[in-house]
Structure 1
Amino acid sequence: MRKKPYMLATDLDGTLVGDPSALQRLLQHYENSNIEVELVYITGRHFASVSSLIEIENLPKPDILITDVGAAIYTTEKLTEDTTWAKKMHINWNPERIIKLASFFPTLQRQTLPSTKRVSFTVDQNEEVVKQFEKALVEENIPHKLIFSSNRDVDILPENSGKGEALSYILQNYANEDVKVLIAGDSGNDIDMLTLGHPSVIVGNAQLELVQMKNHPYLYRATEHFAGGIYEAWLHFYK
C-alpha cells in the first residue's frame, strides 16, 4: 500500500454518512484539487456490517478500515486483518467474564455480534447503571475499556483498543511521517481519536457528549452536518 500525503480518518454513521450530496461535494473537492487522500474509516460496526454500509451508501473503498470501535484493523487492497494488532487485542481479553458479569445488570441489553472482538450493549438512557457496571468490572479485575456513547451504546473493548489507539497505530505503521491528517467524528466513541492532537473536526450534528467536549488547539467545530462538516473543516485546515 502506497503512502499518501493526506489522510482523512473518519467515523461513518452520523459523520461521513448522512448527506449524500455533501459527501459528493467533499469527494469532488479531492478530485478537483488533484490531491491524494488516504481514506481511513473508523467505525463501531463489525466488518460485515460496514461492508454492507459501504455498498448501500456507495462509499469509496477505504485504504484502511478500523472496525468494532478500534478492536480490529483491516489493511491492503483486500482489506485483510492486521495480525499484529489482532494479537495485541487478545492480550488479557476475556469476553466470557464480561458477559457473565453483565448478566447481573438486566437493563443492559446485549447486542448480537458475529464475534467477541468486543462485547456491546444498549441501555435506555441510564448512565447510573453503566457506572455500576464499570465499577463491577474494576472490582472483578477484568481488563477492559468501557465506552458509553450517544446515551445508549455501551462498548466493552480490549484494554489497549479504542479508536484513538487504533488510529495511532495506523499513523505509526501505515502513514507518511509528515502526513496531513484530518480526523472526524460525531459521538462519544470518537473522543479518544479527536483528542490525539491532530487536526480534528466535530461535525455540526454531533451528539451532546461532543458538544460538551473540551476544546484543543487543533479542534474545529463545524456548523455544517455530516460530510459537509468534514468539507468545512478540510478547507479550514488545508484550503
Structure 2
Amino acid sequence: MKEKAFVLATDLDGTLVGDNTALHTLLSYYEESSLDIAIIYITGRHLASSLSLITEENLPQPDILITDVGTAIYTSLSLTEEALWTEKMQSDWYPQKIIRIAENFPLLKRQVLPTDNRISYTVLQNEEVVREFKQALCEENIPHKLIFSSNRDVDILPPNSGKGEALLYVLQNYFHKEVQVLVAGDSGNDVEMLSLGYPSVIVGNAQQELIDMTSHPLLYRASKHFAGGIHEAWLHFFNKNSTSANVACNKETARL
C-alpha cells in the first residue's frame, strides 16, 4: 500500500452507507477516475458485522478494515489481524473490572459482542449516568477510554485505542508520508480521527456532537448527506483545481 497516492478513510453506518444513490455515484466517480486510492473502513461494528455490511451494500473490499471503534485492525485483502496493534490493545485492559462496575448502573444495557476488545452499552438519553459511570471507573483507577456517541452508545475501550489512534497507526505504518487522505465521519466516535489534522469531512446528516465539534483548517462540513457528503468533500480537497502541494501545505499548517 506504500505506493497508493490517496486514501479514503471512512466510517460506514451513517457516513459511507445510508443513501444508495449517493453511494453509487461516489463509487462510480472513483472507478472512472485515474486516482490510485486505498480504502480504509473505520467502524464501530465488530468484524463479522462489518463483513456482513460490506456484502449487503456491495461495498468495495477495503485495503484496511478497522473495527470495534479502533480496537482491532485487519490488513490486506485477506484481512489479517494486525498482531502488534492487538498486543497493544491488550496491555492495561481489564474488561471484567469494567463489567463489574457497570453492574451498579442498571440503566446501562450491555451490548452482546463476540469479543471483549471493547465493552459497550446503550443508554437512553441520560448523560448523567454516563458521567457517573466514568467517574466510578476513574475512582477505581481502571485505565480506559470512554466514548459517548449518538446520545445512546457508550463504548469503553483500551486506553490507547480509538478510531483516531488506529487510523494514525495504519497511516504511519502502511502508507508513505506524502499520501493524500480524506477522513469521513458522522458521530461522536469519529471525533478523534476527524481531529488528526488531515483533510476531513463531517457529512451533512451528522449527529449533534459533530455539529458542535471544534473546527480546524482542514475540517469540511458538507451540505450533502452520507456518501454524497464524502463526494462533495473529495471534490473540495482533491479536484483538478486543488494541487497536492497546497493540501500538504495546509495540512502541516493545521498541525502547528
Give the TM-score normalised by structure 2. Answer: 0.92
Q: Is the 8 A contact 1:163 1:190 kept in 2?
A: yes
Residue 123 of structure 1 is matched in structure 2 by 123
2: distance between equivalents of 1:226 and 1:31?
19
Secondary structure of the residue that 1:92 maps to in structure 2? coil
For structure 1, list consecutive stretches of 5 or more residues without a partner in the other structure. none
Counterpart AA for 1:48: A
Residue 76 of structure 1 is matched in structure 2 by 76
2: distance between equivalents of 1:214 and 1:93?
30
Q: CA deviation at 1:29?
A: 1.3
Deviations 1:38-84 (A, max 9, x none): 00000000000000000001101000000000000000110010000
2: distance between equivalents of 1:27 and 1:221?
21
Residue 157 of structure 1 is matched in structure 2 by 157
Please identify, of 24-33 and 172-181, the stretch whose mean Cα deviation from structure 2 is larger. Answer: 24-33
Secondary structure of the residue that 1:189 maps to in structure 2? helix
Residue 146 of structure 1 is matched in structure 2 by 146
1: distance between equivalents of 2:3 and 2:28?
21
Residue 192 of structure 2 is matched in structure 1 by 192
Residue 177 of structure 2 is matched in structure 1 by 177
Residue 13 of structure 2 is matched in structure 1 by 13
Q: Residues 221-232 of structure 1 correspond to what in structure 2 (within 5 A)?
A: 221-232=221-232
2: distance between equivalents of 1:219 and 1:3?
26
Residue 206 of structure 1 is matched in structure 2 by 206
Tell me the number of residue pairs that the alignment of Structure 1 and Structure 2 aligns: 239
Deviations 1:127-154 (A, max 9, x none): 0000000000000000000000000000
2: distance between equivalents of 1:28 and 1:55?
18
Q: Residues 83-102 of structure 1 correspond to what in structure 2 (within 5 A)?
A: 83-102=83-102
Counterpart AA for 2:218: Y
Q: Is the 8 A contact 1:30 1:36 kept in 2?
A: no
Give me the identity figure in percent. Answer: 66
Deviations 1:218-238 (A, max 9, x none): 000000000000000000000
Q: What is the root-mean-square deviation of aligned Cα atoms in Å?
A: 0.7
Moved over 2 A (4+): none
For structure 2, list consecutive stretches of 5 or more residues without a partner in the other structure. 240-256
Q: Is the 8 A contact 1:26 1:228 kept in 2?
A: yes
Q: Is the 8 A contact 2:2 2:176 kept in 1?
A: no
Q: CA deviation at 1:25?
A: 1.0
Please identify, of 121-130 and 2-11, the stretch whose mean Cα deviation from structure 2 is larger. Answer: 2-11
Residue 110 of structure 2 is matched in structure 1 by 110
Give the TM-score normalised by structure 1. Answer: 0.99
Q: CA deviation at 1:2?
A: 5.2
Q: CA deviation at 1:3?
A: 3.4
Counterpart AA for 1:78: S
2: distance between equivalents of 1:4 and 1:28?
19
